[in-house]
Amino acid sequence: MERGLVDGQRRLEQVTETDAPAFEAIVAAYEAPIARYLYGMVGDVELARDLTQETFLSAYRALPSTPITNLAGWLYRIATNHALSHFRRKRLFGWVSLSRLLAGGYDPSVDGHSEWVVTSSAVEEALQQLDPKDRACLLLRAAGFSSQEIAEQLGCSPGAARTRLSRAREAFRRAYHQGDPDEEAEG
């Protein structure tokens, strides 16, 4: 776990309704990862920023009355709930770009720019076809969460989370290779 996240977890124990500096430390440690996660869920920078703000506002309001044992898991669950609520309200399906989660991200100075663009586009198109909860499973796994943590964040059993993750991987694989003659010949 990153140093800032450990410090944020420690400071969480000290947060009260009037302890804004402690909560600011938590926001500082988690805002960027949560925003990246939400961007992956909704595929829109401005909407991701709005959902990130809603996530931290909800967290701030809930802190005094919520026992928290896993700060990161709790925050990601709030973020996931906000993203899924957005999809229910708008009846939209967003897309997730797992490539944006890779450590270091994209470097345009590296050879293979066109290949990266093609791959990124194919990943986005494939993920656009998935159910939002399936995208959440894949994205949470890519962010390093275990099946148990994914289950807690999605409000299901660990077995159901593993099943959903397996189904999501298979659906992603089919969508990604859709129209690929080599893949169809093998399948």
Would the pLDDT of 137 be above 90? Answer: no
pLDDT of residue 120: 60
48's CB contacts (< 8 A; 6+ apart) are 35, 38, 39, 41, 42
Q: Would you call 7 exposed, middle or buried from its count of C-beta atoms within 10 A (0-12, 13-18, 19+)?
A: middle
Would the pLDDT of 4 be above 90? Answer: no
pLDDT of residue 82: 93
pTM value? 0.58
Pick the CATH number of 1-92 from 1.10.1740.10, 1.20.1050.40, 1.20.120.450, 3.90.1150.10: 1.10.1740.10
How is the chain split into domains, by residue range? Answer: 1-92, 112-187
Interaxial angle between packed helices 71-90 and 3-12, expressed in degrees from 0 to 180 and rounded to the nearest 10: 90
Class of domain 112-187: mainly alpha
pLDDT of residue 39: 87
pLDDT, tens only, 116-127: 444 566 777 777
What's the mean pLDDT in 56-61? Answer: 92
Tell me the residue ranges of DSSP E strands in 36-80: none
pLDDT of residue 15: 56
Query: Which pLDDT band, with edges at 50, 70 and 90, does 172 fall under?
Result: confident
8 A C-beta contact, residue 106 and residue 121: no
| Comparison of pLDDT for 111 and 34, the residue scoring more | 34
Query: Which pLDDT band, with edges at 50, 70 and 90, does 110 fall under?
Result: very low
pLDDT, tens only, 94-104: 444 555 444 44
State how far the Cα of 158 lies from the Cα of 58, in Å rounded to an integer: 25
